[in-house]
Structure 1
Amino acid sequence: MSSVKPVFRIFDVEKAIAFYIDWLGFTIDWEHRYGDNFPLYMQVSMDDIVFHLSEHHGDATPGSKAFIEFTGDLPAYHKMLLDKNYKYNKPGLEKAPWGGHYIQVTDPFGNNILFNSGE
């Protein structure tokens, strides 16, 4: 096995782009629709982190969570998020009980992403 790509359910493409692309800094790798007026399925990524986002009923359950081992500068990433002033989410940089620090964010559809750093 070489990688894991969580699938998160989304309900609004504009809100998903505002959250994942504009705020968190992911890039859209590709998009797929079976035709006009069909649900969107797309892949987004940031460095080695890859998510699939789906409007398809039954693809995933809202309220899922991804735990990410963040190998970059987590305090700098946290500052970048706060500097963007995204009005729906103002995460803290928390001390983790297991050591290091983490940032937890919730997307507009109830999915949670925990960025963890051992620093």
Structure 2
Amino acid sequence: MSDSLDANQPFISFQRTCPIIRIFDEEKAREFYVDFLGFQLDWEHRYGDNFPLYMQVSRAGLVLHLSGHHGDASPGSNTFVVMKGVQAYQKELIAKHYIYMKPGVETLPWGLQMEVTDPFSNRIRFCEQDDGGEASV
């Protein structure tokens, strides 16, 4: 499959992937994503009083949407993130002494990988790929 431009086709460019992750408890979501993983809270939205929260968190170019809305995402999902500095990130997380998560780094055929699981059973796999290595999600 070629990524080359075809003069007969319009130019298509994807700007960012933004996974939506289902949450059930706003306090636990902030504790995990902001306090533990070190993301910043970019914005929050509710359609009205007594509606679920929808928010965006980000860190170093990674943007995640966290949603309490039924139907936005399935609990127990898996997000694969290609990154640089996975060992430094793991050391940062371990130094926080977070009682619910002590992630390690695995050496896999495609690179180094650290997996975390949020309080809602969603997993994020942070992977620093070897040059030319393809990852198995």
- Shared fold (TM-score, shorter chain, > 0.5): yes
Letter in 1 for 2:115: Q
Tell me the distance in 1 between the aligned counterparts of 2:37 and 2:108.
21
Equivalent residue in structure 1 for 2:88, among 67, 76, 96? 76
State TM-score, norm by structure 1.
0.94
Equivalent residue in structure 2 for 1:114, among 125, 130, 133? 125
Matched, 1:2 2:15: yes
Matched, 1:45 2:58: yes
Equivalent residue in structure 1 for 2:105, among 78, 93, 101? 93
Q: Greater CA radius of gyration, 1 or 2?
A: 2
Moved over 6 A (4+): none
Tell me the distance in 1 between the aligned counterparts of 2:19 and 2:70.
16
CA deviation map 1:35-64 (0-9, x unaligned): 121100001100110110000011100011
Structure with larger RCO (C-alpha < 8 A, sep 6+): 1
Tell me the distance in 2 between the aligned counterparts of 1:67 and 1:112.
9
Contiguous gaps of at least 5 residues in structure 2 = 1-13, 131-137
Matched, 1:31 2:64: no
State TM-score, norm by structure 2.
0.82
- Alignment: residue pair count: 117
Tell me the distance in 2 between the aligned counterparts of 1:63 and 1:74.
23
Q: Residue 32 of structure 2 aligns to a residue in which SS?
A: helix
Q: Residue 66 of structure 1 aligns to a residue in which SS?
A: strand
